[in-house]
């Protein structure tokens, strides 16, 4: 029996240190909900997890971008619906003015309403706005000319690829675009001028219809884009969770085991430290 080196106590202390360390790790994993809290826990897993997190957050924002695109298209189409209604009324008035039973004064009254509707179309074109973008004016955000078409590019992916961009073009919807240089004048004595106005308005209705159809197709595309992005985010999140999240049930088993071992180790260390007390009886 020796007193200088208590190897039993040293061994018990070493094992207790290991158990305490494992218990601390289990406690951290259970309290944080992550089994990878630092690179040392799983170096390769952490790297993969962070790449997945980058993709998840990028795709989540891309989905929000696509939703913004839908909102913008809906705003533009709502304004174009009103333009369509005004053009239909203008067509109705032109047909009325072409009727030979109307007097010049009657056609003058029709002309007044046509002029007011034309002014309103121009007002809608210059004031319809979505987040500082004037959608129907044919100009960019700075107000500079863009060839009569507003061009917007939506980022619908996490990577900087051209395939992750969707271009939107909205043609200016003012009287110059819709009617050209033709004057919507129905004030004559025979109604002949109204016939040409009917043709001009018919062309304008076709222009608006084409733009509304394009916006509708864009909305349908973006809805599918959002569904695809959300599906990728969901599956990538599940994969990232497998790498990083704590399996609470299995980790609780580890915690319980090490908790018992820690208590046993403390008890054994205490007994090992008392074992050398027997030497005193030999000295009495």
pLDDT recorded at residue 281? 65
pLDDT recorded at residue 3? 58
Residue found by looking up tokens 């700075």 in the block = 142
38 part of a folded domain: no
Alpha-carbon dihedral sign for residues 236, 239, 243, 248: positive
pLDDT recorded at residue 144? 53
Q: How far apart are CA 281 and CA 284, in angstroms?
A: 5
Mean pLDDT of the chain: 88
Nearest to 84 by CA among 258, 214, 206: 206
Instruction: Say whether pLDDT at 232 is over 90.
Output: yes
Contact call for residues 246 and 33 (beta carbons, < 8 A): yes
What total number of domains does the chain contain? 2
- The number of beta carbons lying within 10 Å of the beta carbon of residue 195 is 14
1 part of a folded domain: no
270 part of a folded domain: yes
Q: Are strands 149-155 and 133-134 parallel, antiparallel or unpaired?
A: unpaired
> ∠ CA 98-99-102 to the nearest 5 degrees?
105
- The number of beta carbons lying within 10 Å of the beta carbon of residue 43 is 11
Q: What kind and span of H or E run contains 228?
A: helix 192-244
Nearest to 134 by CA among 120, 119, 151, 117: 151
Q: What is the pLDDT of residues 2-57, one digit of tens each?
A: 556 677 888 888 888 888 888 888 888 888 888 888 888 889 999 999 999 999 99
Instruction: Say whether pLDDT at 100 is over 90.
Output: no
Which residue did the predictor score with more confidence, 40 or 161?
Answer: 161
- Average pLDDT (143-171) is 85
Query: Is there a single domain that holds both residue 144 and residue 24?
Result: no
Nearest to 128 by CA among 168, 83, 91: 83
263 part of a folded domain: yes
- Average pLDDT (72-81) is 96
Contact call for residues 168 and 218 (beta carbons, < 8 A): yes
Nearest to 239 by CA among 58, 63, 52: 52
205 part of a folded domain: yes
* Lowest mean pLDDT, pick from 57-66, 200-209, 251-260: 251-260
172 part of a folded domain: yes
Query: Is there a single domain that holds both residue 60 and residue 196?
Result: yes
- Average pLDDT (212-236) is 97
Instruction: Say whether pLDDT at 146 is over 70.
Output: no
Query: Is there a single domain that holds both residue 51 and residue 121?
Result: yes
- The number of beta carbons lying within 10 Å of the beta carbon of residue 203 is 12
Q: How far apart are CA 129 and CA 127, in angstroms?
A: 6
Q: How far apart are CA 271 and CA 11, in angstroms?
A: 12
Query: Is there a single domain that holds both residue 208 and residue 275?
Result: no
Q: How far apart are CA 161 and CA 241, in angstroms?
A: 27
Query: Is there a single domain that holds both residue 22 and residue 110?
Result: no
Instruction: Say whether pLDDT at 283 is over 70.
Output: no
Q: How confident is the model at residue 278 (pLDDT cuts 50, 70, 90)?
A: low
Domain extent for 164: 45-243
Query: Is there a single domain that holds both residue 254 and residue 236?
Result: no
40 part of a folded domain: no
Query: Is there a single domain that holds both residue 16 and residue 61?
Result: no
111 part of a folded domain: yes
- The CA distances from residue 61 to 10, 153, 157, 231, 232, in Å, are 57, 15, 8, 14, 13
Query: Is there a single domain that holds both residue 83 and residue 118?
Result: yes
Query: Is there a single domain that holds both residue 215 and residue 106?
Result: yes
Which stretches does DSSP call E strand in the chain? 129-130, 133-134, 149-155, 165-171
Instruction: Say whether pLDDT at 236 is over 90.
Output: yes
pLDDT recorded at residue 156? 95
pTM for this predicted structure: 0.78
Instruction: Say whether pLDDT at 141 is over 80.
Output: no
Query: Is there a single domain that holds both residue 85 and residue 193?
Result: yes
pLDDT recorded at residue 231? 97
CATH number at residue 204: 1.20.1330.10
Query: Is there a single domain that holds both residue 91 and residue 223?
Result: yes
SS3 label, residue 46: helix
Which residue did the predictor score with more confidence, 102 or 144?
Answer: 102
- Average pLDDT (147-153) is 85
Query: Is there a single domain that holds both residue 25 and residue 141?
Result: no
């Amino acid at each position: 029996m020796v007193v200088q080196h208590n190897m039993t106590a040293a061994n018990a202390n070493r094992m207790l240190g290991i158990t305490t360390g494992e218990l601390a790790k289990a406690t951290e994993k259970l309290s944080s909900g992550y089994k990878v809290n630092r690179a040392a826990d799983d170096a390769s897993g952490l790297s993969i997890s962070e790449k997945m997190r980058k993709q998840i957050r990028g795709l989540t924002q891309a989905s929000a971008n696509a939703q913004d695109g839908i909102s913008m298209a809906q705003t533009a189409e709502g304004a174009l619906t009103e333009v369509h209604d005004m053009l239909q009324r203008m067509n109705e008035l032109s047909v009325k003015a072409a009727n030979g039973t109307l007097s010049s004064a009657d056609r003058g009254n029709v002309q007044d309403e046509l002029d007011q509707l034309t002014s309103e179309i121009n007002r809608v074109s210059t004031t319809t706005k979505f987040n500082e973008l004037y959608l129907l004016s044919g100009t960019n955000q700075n107000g500079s000319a863009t060839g009569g078409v507003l061009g917007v590019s939506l980022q619908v992916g996490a990577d900087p690829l051209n395939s992750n961009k969707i271009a939107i073009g909205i043609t200016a919807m003012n009287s110059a675009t819709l009617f050209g240089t033709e004057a919507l004048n129905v004030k004559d004595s025979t109604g002949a001028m109204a016939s040409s106005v009917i043709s001009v308005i018919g062309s304008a209705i076709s222009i608006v219809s084409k733009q509304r159809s394009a916006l509708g197709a864009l909305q349908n595309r973006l809805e599918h884009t959002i569904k695809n992005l959300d599906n990728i985010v969901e599956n990538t999140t599940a994969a990232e969770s497998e790498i990083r999240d704590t399996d609470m049930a299995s980790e609780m088993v580890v915690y319980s085991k090490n908790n018992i071992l820690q208590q046993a180790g403390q008890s054994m260390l205490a007994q090992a430290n008392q074992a050398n007390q027997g030497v005193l009886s030999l000295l009495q």
